Each structure stands twice: as C-alpha cells, then as structure tokens.
Amino acid sequence: MARLRSSSILWWSVVLGVFVIAVLSGIIDLSWQVLGIVLLCSSCELMDSSLGMGYGTTLTPILLILGFEPLQLVPTILVSEFFSGFGAAFFHSEIGNVRLRRGSPHLRAAVVLSTCSFVGVYAGVQLAFSISKQALTML
C-alpha cells in the first residue's frame, strides 16, 4: 500500500508540475473557466478509468454545449485520452488488476491496444485537420 501511495504521489506531482509549468510559461491562461474545465475533464477521466468508458462520449457533448469548436475538441480529447490511458494502466497494474510484466499476456494485449490507439489518435487528428469544417460539424 505504501508503494501505491508513493507512486500516486509521484504521478500527481508530475501532472501538477506540468500544469504549473504550462501556467507559468503562459501556455495556459489561468482563470476560473480553465479550472472548471480541468475539474470537468478530471471527473470524466476518473469515470473512464474506473468504468472503462465515458471520457470522450461524456466530455465532447458537454464541451460542444459550452461553445468549443469541434476542431478544438477532437485532437485535444483524443490525445489527452491516449496519455491518460497510460496513467490508468499504470494504476491498474499497481493495484493488481492486471500484470504488466515482461512476457505477460496482459502486457502483450496492452502493447497491441496502445499501438492501435496511437494509430487511431494519429489518424483521427489528421482527419480532423484535413476535412472541411462543414464536414466535421455535420451530424
């Protein structure tokens, strides 16, 4: 349990550190809106990581209703879900839901899923930027 706690502290320290660096360097303009979106995204990611779904399907419509453009959302949600998936995999391994050790069937499945996810994220982002805005926003 102590190892899991120190891993969790390290993980959250890295995430918080990246956020603080982004704010201090001016990449992110800190406001109540930004903090609200971070809280919303974190809640959707918690739901996704614990239940196995719900991040993009919940977050995308909410952010569209809040006025974000699809071209802002598609790459951001795909890339953020890709990276947060690694965090979820790490913690599932830490608490023993899966064994991500060399030669394990869980690791082989994770590598296949990660590779397919990377290809899907890359293709989705490229497609979002290459098609017209009208085609992207059609229902």
Is 15 among the domain residues? no
Q: What is the pLDDT of residues 73-90, one digit of tens each?
A: 877 888 788 778 777 787
Written as six digits, the tokens of 32 are: 């109540």
Is 9 among the domain residues? no
- Show the domain range for 92: 31-137
Is 23 among the domain residues? no
Could you tell me which of 106, 38, 116, 57 has the C-alpha nearest to residue 82? 116
| Banded model confidence at residue 1, pLDDT cuts 50, 70, 90 | low
Is 69 among the domain residues? yes
Cβ neighbors of 99 (< 8 A, separation 6 or more) are: 93, 106, 107
The mean predicted confidence, pLDDT, of the chain is: 82
70 vs 77: CA distance, rounded Å: 10
pLDDT > 70 in the chain, percent:
93
End-to-end Cα, the chain, rounded Å: 47
Is 96 among the domain residues? yes
For the stretch 30-46, what's the b/e string if a residue is b when 16 or more beta carbons lie within 10 angstroms of its beta carbon?
A: eeeeeeebeeebeebbe
pLDDT at 2 over 70: no
Q: What is the pLDDT of residues 29-62, one digit of tens each?
A: 878 887 888 888 888 888 887 787 788 888 888 9
User: Given this model, what pLDDT does residue 37 score?
Assistant: 83
User: Given this model, what pLDDT does residue 83 score?
Assistant: 79
Neighbours of 121 (CB within 10 A): 19
Look at the chain and report how many structural domains it folds into.
Answer: 1
Is 47 among the domain residues? yes
- Check residue 104 and report its DSSP letter: -
